[in-house]
Amino acid sequence: DAKTTQPTSMDCAEGRAANLPCNHSTISGNEYVYWYRQIHSQGPQYIIHGLKNNETNEMASLIITEDRKSSTLILPHATLRDTAVYYCIVRANTGTASKLTFGTGTRLQVTL
């Protein structure tokens, strides 16, 4: 699975959009970009994933650059409950293993 690079931490004001970047310059053609988050020490929570096209769901939007070497997770209206560590993970959707390789993620602090 390709390696990812994320900023260690970010701040965002409540109500504003939080834009979390991720670099994955060695991504392969069959690898997807996944985002999970972990609030305090709870179990990680799936947010969104995509291959090439931008994706949106009720939680967030995922913007993937045309060369697929980087992506941005957007929380359109961040709230205090969005304070968490956000993990960008790149992996192929094939194979027999279901392993996710978590890096150190970005610690997002949403403030009043």
Report the DSSP pairing between strands 31-38 and 84-92: antiparallel
- For the bound state, the minimum distance from the C-beta of residue 17 to another protein, rounded and expressed in Å, comes to 23
Name which of 14 and 51 has its Cβ closer to another protein. 51
Q: What tokens does 26 get? A: 């060695």
- Pick one of 8, 53, 97, 112: the residue that binds another protein (CB under 8 A): 97
Q: Which of residues 35-64 bind another protein (CB under 8 A)?
A: 36, 41-46, 49
Question: How far apart, in whole angstroms, are the C-alpha atoms of residue 84 and residue 78?
Answer: 11
Give me the amino acid identity at 4: T
Beta strand segments in the chain, E: 9-13, 18-23, 31-38, 45-50, 55-56, 61-64, 70-75, 84-92, 106-111
Number of residues that bind another protein (CB under 8 A): 23
Give the nearer residue to another protein in terms of CB position, either 17 or 39: 39
Assess 94 for contact with another protein (CB under 8 A): yes
**Footprint on this chain of another protein (rule: CB under 8 A):** 34, 36, 41-46, 49, 91-100, 102-105
